[in-house]
Amino acid sequence: MLKLNIKNETSRLRAVVLGTAESNGPTPKVEDCYDPKSIEHVIAGTYPKEVDMVKEMEAVAAVFKKYDVKVYRPEVIKDCNQIFSRDIAFVIEDKIIRANILPNREEEVEAIRYLWNQIENEDRIILPEECHVEGGDVMPWNDYIFIGTYSGDDYSDYITARTNMDAVIAIQELFPEKTVKAFELRKSNTNAKENALHLDCCFQPIGTDKAILHKNGFLVESEYEWLFNFFGKENVFEITKEEMYNMNSNIFSISEDIIISEQNFTRLNTWLHEQGFTVEEVPYAQIAKQEGLLRCSTMPLIRD
């Protein structure tokens, strides 16, 4: 059996699910896209090609191999986008929680069934149907669980609203000893620069006490201020709207001092080096066109 352990975003990684870009299918139609950025690229004729995305994901797999991380991949489903493994399930402590995702993505969950079956029955959690949640919105951070949400009355109008308050409450009930802190995110179906698809599109903790933040991703200024003060001014790297659009907060920690980042994130990567991090730079600009990056395409299972 597989013994899961995830307490935060940065402890030394031992096992992870990395999505796959194999058999990704043809370029989707506009009406089949899940987010405004994909729509932009479909219309512009710049939607990423499978061969390029496979190459990008293999570069990440190679970094995991270098650091001796056990990598699981989803079973390949023909003509299905399976890159974003963070969307389908996530781990907190020793529990795996199945995401209640967009209904037409059900088969993505089936592709990791072999893994699900290796986990003790009592550690597999399926939330009630009314709880909508995706892993990109959920961040375990030691005694806290940070969750991105949207509670507007127009929730159902947004295909970009992925996690609701029912899920926030359910997660608090599952982990009563933790402080669950929810943050309202800015949503847009049409403008990628005004849309925080998930919490990890505008925030990510790194190291032991630092964070990457984008203010405009948060709907409520006081919630953003709370996070900013929690980490402290000297520990926060603020990203611009353009950098958020390019997914600069969606990097991935292998440990408290090793980070996988996109090679074009010049300003961020320079700062990370200055802070003493080892930065493993990979090409991921094609995958970024689908409004997801390194954190979105990985689902950690075991950290020390």
Give percent above pLDDT 70 in the chain: 97
97, 90 Cβ separation under 8 angstroms: yes
Which amino acid appears at position 131 of this protein? C
Residues with Cβ within 8 Å of 212's Cβ and at least 6 positions away in sequence, in order, are 203, 204, 206, 236, 237, 239, 248, 249, 251, 268
What is the end-to-end Cα distance of the chain in Å, rounded?
A: 17
Q: What is the pLDDT of residue 275?
A: 97
The answer to whether residue 264 sits within a structural domain is yes
The answer to whether residue 94 sits within a structural domain is yes
Q: Where are the beta strands (DSSP E) in the chain?
A: 13-18, 70-72, 89-92, 95-98, 124-126, 138-141, 144-149, 179-184, 203-206, 210-213, 236-238, 252-253, 258-262, 278-282, 298-303
Q: Considering only CA atoms, which of 266, 301, 261, 265 is closest in space to residue 278?
A: 261
**Strands 138-141, 89-92: parallel, antiparallel or unpaired by DSSP?**
unpaired
Q: What is the pLDDT of residue 160?
A: 67
Q: What is the pLDDT of residue 102?
A: 65
The answer to whether residue 86 sits within a structural domain is yes
Please tell me whether the overall predicted TM-score, pTM, comes out greater than 0.85 for this model.
yes
**Which tens digit of pLDDT belongs to each residue from 48-85?**
899 999 999 999 999 999 999 999 999 999 998 899 99
- SS3 state at 287: helix
The answer to whether residue 7 sits within a structural domain is no
Report how many domains make up the chain: 1
Distance CA 56, CA 247 (A): 15
Average pLDDT, the chain: 92
Query: Which of the four pLDDT bands, split at 50, 70 and 90, describes residue 196?
Result: confident
115, 17 Cβ separation under 8 angstroms: yes
Alpha carbon of residue 100 to chain centroid: 15
The answer to whether residue 6 sits within a structural domain is no
Distance CA 139, CA 225 (A): 18
**Strands 236-238, 210-213: parallel, antiparallel or unpaired by DSSP?**
parallel
Answer whether residue 155 shows pLDDT above 80.
Answer: no
Q: Kindly report which listed range (36-45, 73-82, 118-127, 276-285) carries the lowest average pLDDT score.
A: 36-45
For 154, the domain range is 13-303
Distance CA 273, CA 278 (A): 7
Which amino acid appears at position 94 of this protein? D
The answer to whether residue 281 sits within a structural domain is yes
CATH code assigned at 247: 3.75.10.10
The answer to whether residue 163 sits within a structural domain is yes
The answer to whether residue 249 sits within a structural domain is yes
Q: What is the pLDDT of residue 231?
A: 98
Distance CA 227, CA 214 (A): 11
